[in-house]
Amino acid sequence: MRAYRGGVSLFIALVMPLTTSVTAAWPDGGRIAFVSDRDGNGEIYVMDPDGSGQTNLTRRSAHDWCPAWSPDASTIAFVGDDEIWRMDDHGNNLQQLTSGSAYPVRNWWPTWSPDGGHIAFTHVLTAQDVGDIYRMDAWGGSQAKLGWSNGWDCHPAWSPDGAQIAFTRFDGTNWDIWIGSADGTGTPWRLTDGAGFDGYAAWSPDGSKIAYQHQAAWPDSEIYIRNADGSGTAQNLTENAVYDAWPTWSPDGTHIAFYRRRQPWNATDCDIVTIALGTGQETVLTGSPGHDYCPSWGSEPGDDSPEPATWALLACTALAGAALRRRTS
């Protein structure tokens, strides 16, 4: 018994200081990529979900915007000089995926397939920022228009199960959210049907809901949420008199980030804001002069190796076992 107690004491003494001193590289909740022109040019930034650690990843002369995290949070696709690019989550390994655009033709709004193997985007054809939804592999190959796209589509968002793509379609009068098959077959169906603008769809992590921007009349614009199958009624999350746009879900589905134009409504500055779905509590994450907009909330970086605390636990278990063997030998 004395030997057993000694081994446990050694285990506790060793494991406590090691495990309590470990801190994660990123806090729970992933990271948020966004666009900011605080340095005089549109650049891709990342930050922690509480607004800390804001870091410029691109630092290019081009106007970079519209970031989109890969499912494993290792890569960001974005738009620069009207083309789709990709880089790793530290801003390195930059690669251009599309080419040949000249105004009004542009390639905008990338979105990843949930397996990370493909990217859908809008091949913009007109000055109204609509065109066709295309898909390509994650390195820019096999670019092709989806069969149901009719030249008046934009803002694709891939569903978490990989089967569908939500997008915005302009019918000549209104802008609404539609949903089509990810392989381009079949006929899309309309999710929203109202006056004004419904756009920038974002699927919840479990695929059951879609958040989107609804704007009945300028300048008021709200973040709405509704069931992805079209059932029920839409819920206004923000319900105010300012301009809220571009929603994105937290990886655990408990929060939505978006950007808000500061009051008065014609101010040029924008901030990234989060809202807790359970309480409605809002938190402003940025406050720099200029525009902070186009948020994309990514998951924790993938890593199959044991966490530091796990390594500490394994090491201390081995040490305690060795001490126990010495005491009983």
CATH code: domain of residue 40: 2.120.10.30
Please name the helix (run of DSSP H) or strand (run of DSSP E) that holds residue 4, with its range, or none.
Answer: helix 2-20
- Residues 63, 189: one domain? yes
Residues 6+ away with beta carbon under 8 Å from 23: none
Whether the CB-CB separation of 110 and 119 falls below 8 Å is answered with yes
- Residues 174, 280: one domain? yes
- Residues 204, 325: one domain? no
* Closest CA relative to residue 195, chosen from 216, 167, 171: 216
| Strand-pair category, 220-227 with 175-181 | unpaired
230-252: pLDDT as tens digits? 999 999 999 988 899 999 999 99
- Residues 161, 215: one domain? yes
- Residues 99, 223: one domain? yes
Token couple for 306: 């044991």
- Residues 250, 260: one domain? yes
Question: Does 184 have pLDDT greater than 90?
Answer: yes
Question: Does 5 have pLDDT greater than 90?
Answer: no
Task: Give the residue with greater pLDDT, 290 vs 152.
Answer: 152
- Residues 105, 238: one domain? yes
Count of other CB atoms within 10 angstroms of residue 83: 19
Whole domain around residue 324: which residue ranges?
1-22+307-329
Separation between Cα atoms, residue 9 and residue 6, nearest integer Å: 5
- Residues 96, 194: one domain? yes
Question: Does 10 have pLDDT greater than 70?
Answer: no
With a pLDDT cut of 70, the percent of the chain lying above it is 81
- Residues 201, 82: one domain? yes
* Closest CA relative to residue 107, chosen from 90, 142, 141, 131: 131
72-98: pLDDT as tens digits? 999 999 999 999 999 999 999 999 999
Count how many domains the chain has: 2
Question: Does 16 have pLDDT greater than 90?
Answer: no
- Residues 317, 295: one domain? no
The pLDDT, as a whole number, for residue 20 is 31
- Residues 156, 225: one domain? yes
Q: DSSP labels for 236-268?
A: ESS-SSSBEEEEEE-TTSSEEEEEEEPTTTT-S
The pLDDT, as a whole number, for residue 46 is 98
* Closest CA relative to residue 50, chosen from 281, 285, 286: 285
Residues 6+ away with beta carbon under 8 Å from 69: 31, 33, 75, 76, 112, 296, 297, 298, 299
Task: Give the residue with greater pLDDT, 29 vs 34.
Answer: 34
Question: Does 313 have pLDDT greater than 70?
Answer: no
Task: Give the residue with greater pLDDT, 39 vs 134.
Answer: 134
242-282: pLDDT as tens digits? 899 999 999 999 999 999 987 655 566 899 999 999 999 99
Question: Does 191 have pLDDT greater than 60?
Answer: yes
* Closest CA relative to residue 108, chosen from 61, 163, 60, 153: 153
105-146: pLDDT as tens digits? 999 999 999 999 999 999 999 888 899 999 999 999 999 999
Average pLDDT over residues 141-154: 96
The pLDDT, as a whole number, for residue 266 is 56
- Residues 88, 119: one domain? yes
Average pLDDT, the chain: 85
